[in-house]
Structure 1
């Protein structure tokens, strides 16, 4: 199997981080549940995890898991996704951060690590 074929068949993690404007956390919480439910309607969806901000922060990260790159790309390119993301643009500070990973990269990516990599 070629590397490109293997990559297209690997499970994919899409990590999306956003900073919510102060006072809009409850609105964002309702929205993030909505978008995770919408993602569940797409082929290949394997689940989502929502990481809420630590004390003194307003940064949320949502992790979506899909069975293939094609299914993850279909979700991200869908009109449903674009329309739902647009619903919260007014309560987001700055730009969202989106990271797409697959294979061992999911386990060993140290981009946001706070401690040194072994």
Structure 2
């Protein structure tokens, strides 16, 4: 059963495929997708194919939860499939998860430039770091809580909002600018 978008986990995998091996690679992707379906929480694989002279395929693998994703990533079957893949690749696969995925908009391949990541993150986090602590102080001011506890709560709420609410929507809204 799906937990909801905020709880979902994703893994970004990039493969530089030898041009002569593209047909074999496409068959490998179909096989991997079938294998993933055997794992609890699997939601799908988005495949972004290279354009022009580019050789890099990007796979975005979705699971309901981080734990379910880790079951797949750590599985013996995935290890075997990666070993089968090695002869088709120009270099080792690149695997990313976590905050870096904020900056990889869905259905696009290019990576955002660092200055754009900085500007996007700053424009989202600055208002939060101003509003969240002020609202928490206003709501809890009469409770007599230690200042450190209010600050910790404000930090935790800010990070939660960034990861689960703001950045997924914000990145999608500005994805064309991010990848230009």
TM-score after normalising by structure 2 = 0.54
Q: Which has the higher helix share?
A: 2
In structure 1, stretches of 5+ residues that fail to align are 1-8
Q: Which has the higher strand share?
A: 1
- State how many pairs are aligned: 107
Q: CA deviation at 1:21?
A: 1.1
Equivalent residue runs for 1:68-107 within 5 Å: 68-101=65-98, 106=101
Match of 1:18 in 2: 15
Match of 1:42 in 2: 39
Whole-Å Cα distance in 2 between the matches of residues 97 and 88 of structure 1? 13
Which structure is larger by alpha-carbon Rg, 1 or 2? 2
Q: Which protein has greater RCO, CA pairs closer than 8 Å, 6+ apart? A: 1
Whole-Å Cα distance in 2 between the matches of residues 95 and 83 of structure 1? 15
Q: CA deviation at 1:113?
A: 1.2
**Alpha carbon RMSD of aligned pairs, Å?**
2.2
Equivalent residue runs for 1:52-67 within 5 Å: 52-67=49-64
Whole-Å Cα distance in 1 between the matches of residues 80 and 92 of structure 2? 17
Whole-Å Cα distance in 1 between the matches of residues 39 and 98 of structure 2? 19
In structure 2, stretches of 5+ residues that fail to align are 1-5, 105-109, 121-180
Equivalent residue of 1:94, what SS? Answer: coil
Whole-Å Cα distance in 2 between the matches of residues 41 and 75 of structure 1? 9
Whole-Å Cα distance in 2 between the matches of residues 52 and 18 of structure 1? 10
